[in-house]
Amino acid sequence: MTGDLLRESAALARDKGVRLHTHLAETTDEADYCREHFHSTPVQYMESVGWLGDDVWFAHGIHVDDESVATLARTGSGVAHCPSSNARLGAGIARTRALRDAGVKVGLGVDGPASNEASSLIEEARHALLLARAVGGPRALGVRDALELATIGGARVLGWDDEIGSLEPGKQADLALWRVDGLAHGDIVDPVAGLVLGAMPPLELLLVGGDAVVERDRLVGVDEVGLAADLKGASTTLLQRAGVAG
């Protein structure tokens, strides 16, 4: 994407009142390319084409120096941390603690199925905590920090924190209730630690807009067996068209 196209897309998005999103600073190659061709960091380049602000959020944000972190904070830009994808691809570990300390809005993302087969947000909370501590020590991130990233943190990144992300009157009834009273969690004193660090608990109930979509780990009103068969068929067809499968 050229600089002109980036500038024009930013102007169009703001004219239409929609938010801007792309991936940024995911690999060292990207940083090298920006330095070689634009004599800047990825964050500096995006600022030069109008792609920073409180209506912008970036996936990854791994390879950012102190100046870039400060710039993201100053402009109100958000970062979707995707720890599982980053680890799977060997891309690196985002500076979650530094970003949060600087005041950058940070949430969690799963990236996509090409680099994250599980696509489980609660698993991202666990990995965000473990990776942050692996490079930053035992106080780099707590279990409640990780849960915040997965809830209100993501809502802030999307600009939806007045509608979702926390349990408050007037907000959407999007709720996930996990059971942490079974054998796998019975000896874990802190239920938040049990949720974030323990075995994956069963999902008792998932509400979206107040409507149940999952009950006792099963989709409501959906034939899961039939849906899985349809998915397998669609996947096979795509692979055949791409010449990958016979």
Share of the chain above pLDDT 90, in %: 95
200-217: per-residue pLDDT in tens? 999 999 999 999 999 999
Q: What is the pLDDT of residue 10?
A: 97
Q: Could you tell me if 52 and 79 are in contact, meaning their C-beta atoms sit under 8 angstroms apart?
A: no
Rounded Cα distance, 123 and 11, in Å? 36
Confidence of residue 245 (pLDDT cuts 50, 70, 90): low
User: pLDDT averaged over the chain?
Assistant: 95
What is the residue-wise DSSP string for 98-138?
HHHHHT-EEEE----TTT-SS--HHHHHHHHHHHHHHHH-T
Average pLDDT over residues 61-85: 98
Contacts of 199 (CB under 8 A, 6+ apart): 184, 185
Partnered with residue 211 across adjacent β-strands are 208
Sign of the four-CA dihedral 152, 158, 161, 167: negative
* Distance, CA of 111 to CA of 82 (rounded, Å): 6
Residue 71 and residue 44 in contact, taking contact as beta carbons nearer than 8 Å: yes
Q: Comparing C-alpha atoms, which of 74, 15, 13, 16 is closest to residue 47? A: 74
Helix (H) or strand (E) holding 66: helix 66-75
Residue 132, pLDDT > 70, answer: yes
* H or E stretch at 54: none
Mean pLDDT of 214-227: 93
- Whole-angstrom distance, CA of residue 26 vs CA of residue 61: 6
3-state SS, residue 82: coil
pLDDT of residue 244: 79
Spatial distance between the Cα atoms of 207 and 105, rounded to a whole number of angstroms: 25
Residue type, 72: L
**Is 173-246 the same fold as 3-165?**
no
pLDDT at 1 over 80: no
What's the CATH code, domain 173-246? 2.30.40.10
Architecture of domain 3-165: Alpha-Beta Barrel (3.20)
Query: Phi and psi dihedrals of 37, rounded to 5?
Result: -95, -30
Domain boundary assignment for the chain: 3-165, 173-246
pLDDT per residue as tens digits for the range 24-40: 999 999 999 999 999 99
